[in-house]
A = this chain, B = another copy of it.
Amino acid sequence: MTPDNPSTTFTALANPTRRAILARLSSGETSVTELAKPFHLSLPAISKHLKVPQRAGLIAQGRQAQWRPCRLEPGPLKDVADWLEHYRRFYEESFDRLDEYLGAIQKAEQQHDHDE
């Protein structure tokens, strides 16, 4: 664990290729070679990308001799979810208000159609 693990996690997530790698690993563990294919990246390039989420503890690699599959480690994502929890009331409130507003518009339009 680094002293500022949340920053390491957010840095790891701040890149579309790294988020795509996590999405790929969410369907199951896979080798680095397989991971590299859809991204049209060389092995050194994908390894460089992998280092950031590995350092954040988001990706771990098996230790079998022949095949060292990468797998998603959910701990840091749970930390992000816990961090977000504090802000939930903000985005849920504001989207609830948007829902209410859209509901009111729809109702007004239906009333208008009915009156015509």
Where the two chains meet, the residues of A that have a C-beta atom closer than 8 Å to any C-beta of B are 4, 6-8, 10-11, 13-16, 19, 22-23, 26, 72, 74-75, 77-78, 80-81, 83-84, 86-88, 90-91, 93-95
With beta carbons under 8 angstroms apart, the residue of B4, B19, B94 that contacts A16 is: B4
Cα distance A94–B11 in the bound complex, in angstroms: 23
Min Cβ gap A69→B in Å is 16
Partner of A74, one of B15, B16, B87: B87
| Partner among B14, B26, B75, B84 whose Cβ is within 8 Å of the Cβ of A11 | B14
Give A13 Cβ to nearest chain B Cβ, in Å: 4
Q: Which chain B residues lie closer than 8 Å to A95 at the CB level?
A: 78
B contact residues around A14 at 8 Å (CB): 6-8, 10-11, 14
